[in-house]
Amino acid sequence: MRTTVELFAGIGGFQLAADRLGIKTVWANDICPKACKVYRSRFGNGELSEGDIGEKLGDIPPHDLLTAGFPCQPFSSAGKKRGIKDPRGTLFSYVVDVLRQHRPKCFLLENVKRLLTMERGVHFATILAALAELDYLIEWRLVNALHFGLAQNRKRVLITGVRVDLLKPENGHRVLPVRLVTPEDLSCLSRTQLGWIDSPHEWKDISKHGAKFPNWGLARDSRFFSANLREFAEAQPTVMLREVLQDKVPSQFDFTESTLERIGNSTERNKFVDGVEILSNQGGGARMGYTVFGISGVAPTLTSTASRHYERYKVGNRYRRLTNVEYARLQGFPDDHCSAVSVYDQYSLYGNAVPPPMAKWAIGRLKTKGFSVRQVPNKERQKELFADA
């Protein structure tokens, strides 16, 4: 049986995904007592180790897949080398330590979209350089929760790695390096660019990155290849916020009188931004001030920030915030996943989590070697782009 270890486990978004794919979580860790309470209530006492990951590294058992939604922290500018900063001393560096020590077959990391642009690209370059020198082929892709059947605009960077020795040809067949894209997604690339996918010696040095990393790419040793893809061919049909709302919502979720008064002074907008319906706000832009969201689009990104939990939605004739159960649904968790903690605490735990359907999609890509032809509608295109060498 395949096994996995989940670092920065939170409420276990990766564990839910792994369970559904028949992969056994043998060890998990988080420092937050409330997240750990939820984790134990859902998955039992067995594999969770509560506390600072820095003090637990020696306890980690061997495993096939490492997953981590690591917290985003600035890197130290001391130890600058080749224009890239030093990840040592950060939580991300523990991911590198575990990979170096255990050499799992593959890994999956998740983080916020701005990872690709932070510090004018230096942040992501540091991460790529640290991972790519470990003899893994790295692939990243910017994805959105709304492509996985969730009614939420949530852009996340997924970073995968597969051990280079597992990519060697088997039975005379080349194992393709790309996993997070279909040939359809790559159809916007030129023939020359397609040729480069399989030729790491043609790739750019990571230290020569730009201020903004494209939404998809590959890295190996100190080099990378990247492109901005327009398609996500496997996207599921969009689900609207109205389809996931609860029927009977108690009045505790309604606006207070003073909030209603302020909304009275708002300007009508009636527009969609990134699929989110903005009914009105108080000047200054789509998301600022007392924004009132409609339910004909998707929800804006749920976060762990308490102020976001009080975002206002017009549902029928009522103005209210989303419930904890609606948060669970928008993130792809079972309704009662966090019932071990208070309603208030559930918001930030869900807001921090990786949506299990997104994690499941990516882990599923790692399990297969090369492309799964079944998911590619245009077989001729597939043959043309990726005929076995």
DSSP 299: B
Which of the residues 32, 72, 106, 338 is marked catalytic? 72
| Number of residues in the chain | 389
Number of residues that bind ligand SAM (CB under 6 A): 19
Site for ligand SAM in 65-124 (CB under 6 A): 69, 71, 91
Q: Is residue 106 annotated as a catalytic residue, yes or no?
A: no
18 binds ligand SAM (CB under 6 A): no
For residue 316, give both structure tokens: 């029928």
For residue 96, give both structure tokens: 């590198």
By beta-carbon proximity to ligand SAM, the closer residue of 35 and 197 is: 35
* Interface segment toward ligand SAM; rule CB under 6 A; list 28-36, 101-109, 193-201, 212-220: 28-36
N-term to C-term CA, the chain: 31
At residue 339, what are phi and psi to the nearest 5 degrees? Answer: -65, -10
The only residue of 13, 294, 332, 357 in contact with ligand SAM, by rule CB under 6 A: 13
By beta-carbon proximity to ligand SAM, the closer residue of 48 and 189 is: 48
Q: How far is the CB of 69 from ligand SAM (least distance, A)?
A: 3
Going by C-alpha positions, the residue among 69, 90, 223, 65 that lies closest to residue 157 is 69
For residue 265, give both structure tokens: 């002074």
DSSP 246: -
d(CA 155, CA 144): 4
d(CA 182, CA 307): 38
By beta-carbon proximity to ligand SAM, the closer residue of 115 and 218 is: 115
DSSP 3-state of 19: helix
By beta-carbon proximity to ligand SAM, the closer residue of 11 and 125 is: 11
Question: Please, what is the Cα angle at 271 between 240 and 281, to 5 degrees?
Answer: 105
Site for ligand SAM in 344-363 (CB under 6 A): 352-354
Going by C-alpha positions, the residue among 297, 289, 243 that lies closest to residue 270 is 297
* Interface segment toward ligand SAM; rule CB under 6 A; list 3-11, 129-137, 287-295, 305-313: 3-11
* Interface segment toward ligand SAM; rule CB under 6 A; list 9-17, 19-27, 174-182, 247-255: 9-17
Q: How far is the CB of 352 from ligand SAM (least distance, A)?
A: 4
CA distances from 376 to 145, 181, 292 (A): 21, 10, 40
Q: How far is the CB of 10 from ligand SAM (least distance, A)?
A: 2
52 binds ligand SAM (CB under 6 A): yes
Amino acid type, 122: V
Cβ contact 369:30 at 8 Å: no
Q: How far is the CB of 33 from ligand SAM (least distance, A)?
A: 9
Q: How far is the CB of 121 from ligand SAM (least distance, A)?
A: 21
For residue 95, give both structure tokens: 């991911």
Q: How far is the CB of 94 from ligand SAM (least distance, A)?
A: 8
By beta-carbon proximity to ligand SAM, the closer residue of 126 and 352 is: 352
E strand or H helix that includes residue 141: strand 136-144
By beta-carbon proximity to ligand SAM, the closer residue of 55 and 165 is: 55
The only residue of 25, 29, 152, 215 in contact with ligand SAM, by rule CB under 6 A: 29
Determine how many CB atoms are found less than 10 A away from the CB of residue 105.
18
d(CA 356, CA 379): 29
Q: How far is the CB of 53 from ligand SAM (least distance, A)?
A: 4
By beta-carbon proximity to ligand SAM, the closer residue of 23 and 353 is: 353
Active-site amino acid positions: 72
Interface with ligand SAM (CB under 6 A): 8-11, 13-14, 29-32, 35, 52-53, 69, 71, 91, 352-354
